[in-house]
Amino acid sequence: MHLIISCSLNPNSKSRIMADYANEVYCKNVKLIDLQKLQMPLCDGKSCYDDPIVNILKREIQKASSVLLAGPIYNYDLNAASKNLIELTGSAWNDRLVGFICAAGGKTSYMSPMILANSLMLDFRCIIIPRFVYADKSCFTNGNISDDVKKRIKELVDASIDLSKSFIKK
Tell whether the model's pLDDT for residue 170 goes beyond 60: no
Angle, alpha carbons 150-152-154 (nearest 5°): 70
Does domain 2-166 bear CATH number 3.40.50.720?
A: no
Residue 129 above 90 pLDDT?
yes
Please, which residues have CB within 8 angstroms of residue 136's CB and are 6 or more apart in sequence?
103, 104, 105, 106, 107
| Average pLDDT value for residue range 111-134 | 95
Q: Mean pLDDT of all residues in the chain?
A: 94
| Residue ranges of domains in the chain | 2-166
Q: Kindly indicate the confidence band of residue 166, based on its pLDDT and cuts at 50, 70 and 90.
A: confident
DSSP secondary structure of 81-102: HHHHHHHHHGGGGTT-EEEEEE
Gyration radius (Cα) of the chain, Å:
15
Residues 71-83, mean pLDDT to the nearest whole number: 95
Q: Does residue 170 or residue 73 have the better pLDDT?
A: 73
Over residues 137-164, the pLDDT tens digits come to 999 999 899 999 999 999 999 999 999 9
Report the pLDDT value the prediction gives residue 27, as an integer from 0 to 100: 78
Q: Is the pLDDT of residue 107 over 90?
A: no
Exposed/middle/buried for residue 87 (C-beta within 10 Å: 0-12, 13-18, 19+): middle
Query: What pLDDT is stored for residue 93 in this prediction?
Result: 98
Return the half-sphere exposure (C-beta side, CA atoms, 13 A cut-off) of residue 23. 16
Q: Could you report the per-residue pLDDT of 2-44, keeping only the tens digit for each?
A: 999 999 999 999 999 999 999 999 978 999 999 999 999 999 9
Report percent pLDDT > 70 for the chain.
Answer: 98
The percentage of the chain sitting over the pLDDT mark of 90, rounded to a whole number, equals 89
